[in-house]
Each structure stands twice: as C-alpha cells, then as structure tokens.
Chain A
C-alpha cells in the first residue's frame, strides 16, 4: 500500500530564508507525485507535479522539488521565503495503476514565515 510521510507538522522560517519541506513516500511502483498548497479558508491548489521525465520539477511561486527514487523522497524547496508563502502544504502520491486517480495525501506541513 502507498503511504506519504511529511516530516514536521510545523515549519518556521524567516523571510528571505530557505524553505525546505520534506516528503517521503512508500510505493511498490514509481508513483505520480504532487505538492499542493492550501491558503486559509481555501481549497487546495497545485504547486508542482512529477509524473515522468526530469526529476527536478519547477512549480509556481518559485517552488521546486526533486524526485529521488533511491531515497523515495520528493522534498519541496524555495530559495527565499516570502510572507505570502505562509500556508499549509500537502505532499500527495497517486497510483499509476489506477490511472493516477487513487491519491494519498500526507498529513500536511504548516509553514510560518517570520518578518
């Protein structure tokens, strides 16, 4: 069975500092991988995704993530945090065997950005 682990339910960084949100997954086959962001009182929106091809993927708002098969990781980074990045971030995996439609989400990491 697939699972997703996000290390750290809360992460706090200073404005301008590096953002690193960790995601590890378990899957018997290479999955599709996603990061979504949720701003307060809103639904989720896609930050970036990995399905096939280049393992370093770039998303919106300056975020990027690298798929490392050997480490079963898909960590999210941003070189310089901005106040507007404060939100909750979810890592998700889906099973290509179901056409990519059965999706497992991590528990989420809330990012705080200090001025």
Chain B
C-alpha cells in the first residue's frame, strides 16, 4: 500500500530533551515536507526537501532540523524542544513531476512540558 508513515504517533517529552520524529514514504517521491498544525493557524511549512541532500526552509524553521540522506526518509529533529513546539506535525511527500499533489502521513502529536 502506498503510504507515508510517521513515528511516533504520540509523544510527550520535557523541555530540552532531544527528539526525532521519523517519516518514511514508499512511493519513490522526490519531494518531502514537514508541517505543523496549530488551531486557527492551519498548517505551516517547517522544512521541505526536493531530493536527497537538498533541503530548504519553510515558513517556521526555527528550532527544527532535518536531513535527507535517503530518498524515502525525512526525519524531523528537535535538538532542544520547548513548550511552544507543542503541536501536531505532519509529513508529506509528492512526486517531482505531475500535479504536485501531496500525500500526508497520519500525524504526530507532540507535547513538550
């Protein structure tokens, strides 16, 4: 089944404790992206990657890191999480050509205490 998977789905952590949220897609898509969703703000793009080793900042990159060493994986790293990073996070992928439809993962709900 074609899909985007994220792990973990739920995470509660404490301020300053480094964490990684994994994202993997099995559709051979070149493009991947991370978003955070907050009430009243919709989805805001954190980082995106157009291919292996090619990443760029979205609108809210502060406090986040990403890497794209393999085509299928695009982990989101919070080196020192803070309470304002409590949010619902979505990973998405899209083929480089075609209609630019994004396929979304199920989401990761992160709480930073």
The interface stretch among B11-19, B35-43, B65-73 is: B35-43
Contacts of B45 in A (CB 8 A): 102-105
Interface residues of B in 52-72 (CB under 8 A from A): 56, 58-59
How many A-B residue pairs have C-beta atoms within 8 angstroms? Tell me.
65
How many residues does chain B have at the interface if contact means C-beta atoms less than 8 Å apart?
A: 27
Beyond A101-B31, A103-B33, whether A90 also contacts B42 by CB under 8 A is: yes
B26 within 8 A of partner (CB): no
Closest to A44 in B: B104
Complex CA–CA separation, A74 to B40 (angstroms): 20
Interface residues of B in 67-113 (CB under 8 A from A): 90, 92, 94, 96, 99-102, 104-107
Interface of A is mostly: strand
A46 within 8 A of partner (CB): yes
Chain A positions 78 through 109: 1 when the CB is less than 8 Å from some CB of chain B, otherwise 0: 00000000000010101000111111111110
Beyond A43-B90, A43-B106, A101-B31, whether A107 also contacts B40 by CB under 8 A is: yes
22 residue pairs A–B, Cβ–Cβ below 8 Å: A6-B42, A34-B100, A34-B101, A34-B102, A36-B102, A43-B4, A44-B90, A44-B92, A49-B100, A49-B101, A92-B43, A98-B56, A99-B31, A101-B33, A101-B50, A102-B48, A103-B102, A104-B45, A105-B35, A105-B44, A105-B45, A106-B42
Residue ranges of B at the interface with A (Cβ–Cβ < 8 Å): 4, 31, 33, 35, 40-45, 48, 50, 56, 58-59, 90, 92, 94, 96, 99-102, 104-107
